[in-house]
Structure formats: C-alpha cells, structure tokens
Amino acid sequence: MGSRSMAGLKSFRDAEIDLEDGKVEKDRDNILCSYKPTKLRNQALLSGLAYCISSCSMILVNKFVLSGYDFSAGISLMLYQNFVSVIVVSILSSSGVISTEPLTWKLIKVWLPVNVIFVGMLITSMFSLKYINVAMVTVLKNVTNVITALGETYLFMKHHDRKVWTALFLMIISAISGGATDLSFHAIGYAWQIINCFLTASYSLTLRRVMDTAKQATKSGNLNEFSMVLLNNTLSLPLGLLLIFVFNEVDYLCKVPLLKMPMFWLVITSSGFLGLAISFTSMWFLHQTGATTYSLVGSLNKIPLSISGIILFKVPTSMENFLSILFGLLAGVCFAKAKMR
C-alpha cells in the first residue's frame, strides 16, 4: 500500500509540472497537503469496510458449513482452514510480499502453550457455532471480556474504572437474559461456548505474558502479526491432526458425501482465505486509524453480523430474545467506549 501511495503522489506531481506556460501553477506543498488527508480518509474507510466484511463473512460462512451443510467435523474444518493460511502466508513470505520470522525450536518451545490454547479456542468456537445461532454466539462472547478484565486485575494488577465494570455487568445480564429467552437453546452448544470464553480470555492473557519472551526468541527481536499467524497455524496442524483421531472424525470423513462435492470444497477453501483476510485487514485498518477506532468499529460490527445471522439462517426468535441480543450488543459498544477513556 505504501508503494502504491508513493506512485500515486508521483504521477500527481508529474501532472502538475507538465501544465504548459505555468498558466495554472499552484503551490505544490498545498496540493500535497490537501491530497494526502483525502487519500488517508479513503484508505481508512476502505480498510474499515474490508475488515468488517471479512470478519462478518468468516463467521457466517463457518455457520453455513456447520449448520447449512450439516458438517459435523469441526476440527477437520479448523485444520483445513489453518492449512490454507499456512500455504498462503508461506507463498507471500517467500515472494517477499510480507516478512515473517523463521520458525526456530527456541521460538516454538516458548509459543507452544499459547498455541495449545489457540487450537482449543478455535475448536470450541466451531463446536458452539454448530448448535447456537450467530446472534447469541456474538452476545455470549461478551463474557470473554468479563473473564479477561478479571484476569488483568488479578494477574497484571490492572485497574478498571466504574464505567468499565458497569458495562461488563450489563454484558453478563444480557447473556443470561438472552440464554433464558433463546427459542433455539441448546445446552451442548452453550457449554462449548462457555468453555470457548474461558479459552479466549486465557489466550489473550497468556499472549500478553509470553509475548516479550517470544520476541527475545526471534532473530530480529520482533514478532509481527504475519509471523504470529504463520506460527500459530503451523503449530496447530500436528495438534489438529491428533485431535481428529481422538474425536474419531476420520470415520465420519470417510463416509460423508460432502467431500465429493466441488462446491463444498470451494466454500471451505474460501473460509480459509477469509480467516487469513481478517488478520491482513485488521492490521491494515489498525494502521490507517488507531486502536480506539479499531475497538469501537469491532464492537459496532457485531450488530449487522447478528442481524444478518438471524435473517440468513431464519432463526426463530421472540421480541424478548431480540431485545436481549440488542442490549448485549449495545453493552459491548459501551464497554469499548469505557475502555477508551
């Protein structure tokens, strides 16, 4: 993106220089100053839109695969998506488009506990999404913020103000009321989602504790987002392969006719690309705006995602359940705003 921007500025300058006889001369600095903010605003809008579309699409496609196709091998789906990510990132890294850290044994040993939690987080997310509608998954994921905030308080001595705790309390109320009024309530799905909340919070807290040590284990002393994607997804492959046998998904895969359908392979491959797109677009959006805007947009993005999930999958809902979902989503926005302050 940086090279394209520079090329655009260069062509813009050349066009100004070529004006004959100086009849339409302008101050070059003023032109560039007025051009740059417009360019940045356009990139911020485009990156934000790309991030929202990719993050929403990923969840909706996964839901479609697990519920629409009635695919019951969530671990295998996770494994294939991670395999696609490894292939794409490796190609981009070898071609020089992105830079990644080499995977050394020293780095792998430091990162392995994080990766085990990462794999558990992805798998439980797949299991819960198969049984619970998208809107309720989104609301229940707010519980992760509560667990993370408690972990930050006790592990890192981080203090949150009253507005943050109020927003977290509202999230808990919305999750309880949403579950109580959920017409498609499924106990197994809710159990997996609660486990997922604990694993997601554990991943965030463990990542914070391990990051400095992991950076010291790299050759450059840094660990960017692309290196983390490659590291997590590569290490997840042998563990995911082991879990396929543990959960006996091999027999299911041998019998299911879906694997003979080209359209099914197209859908699950696109889900792998979407998972990678979230990493790329989130980095792009964060670079173009900042942590404050990124956090707020992420919270607001859950609203169209929940509505889309209800409409696309024809989820039976009541007014009480819909209001509980909306209440939880607004509590998430309040939480993001409180954290900013």
Q: Report the interhelical angle of 302-312 vs 28-63 (nearest 10°).
A: 40
Q: What is the pLDDT of residues 23-41, one digit of tens each?
A: 444 444 444 444 455 555 6
pLDDT on residue 6 = 37
Q: Report how far residue 341's alpha carbon sits from residue 328's, in angstroms, rounded to the nearest whole number.
A: 20
Its pTM surpasses 0.85: no
- How far apart are the C-alpha atoms of 92 and 98, rounded to whole Å? 6
- The CA-atom distances, in angstroms, between 134 and each of 143, 196, 256, 311, 312 are 15, 14, 25, 10, 10
pLDDT for 26 equals: 47
Whole-number pLDDT of residue 211: 87
Confidence at residue 53, expressed as pLDDT on a 0 to 100 scale: 93
Average pLDDT, integer, range 247-258: 93
Looking at residue 294, its pLDDT comes to 74
Q: What is the pLDDT of residue 25?
A: 47
The predicted structure's pLDDT at residue 18:
42
Q: Which of 151-160, 164-173, 206-215, 290-299 has the lowest mean pLDDT?
A: 290-299
Banded pLDDT at 196 (limits 50, 70, 90): very high
Q: pLDDT tens for residues 290-339?
A: 766 777 788 888 989 999 999 999 999 899 999 999 999 998 888 888 87
Query: Of the spans 35-49, 152-166, 281-295, which averages the highest pLDDT?
Result: 152-166
- Reference 207, options 221, 223, 230; nearest CA is 223
Instruction: Look at 45 and 124; give whichever has higher pLDDT.
Output: 124
Interatomic CA distance for residues 294 and 282, integer angstroms? 8
Q: Is the pLDDT of residue 200 over 80?
A: yes
Mean pLDDT of 82-99: 93
Question: What is the mean predicted confidence (pLDDT) over 158-186?
Answer: 91
pLDDT of residue 39: 58
**Cα separation, 132 vs 242, whole angstroms:** 26
DSSP letter, residue 102: -
Element (H, E) at 68: none
Cα angle 175-181-185, degrees, rounded to a multiple of 5: 85
213-234 pLDDT, tens per residue?
A: 888 888 888 888 888 889 999 9
Read off the tokens for 112. 């392995």
Predicted pLDDT of residue 158:
86
Ramachandran angles phi, psi of 186, nearest 5°: -135, 115
The answer to whether 206 and 212 have CB atoms below 8 angstroms apart is no
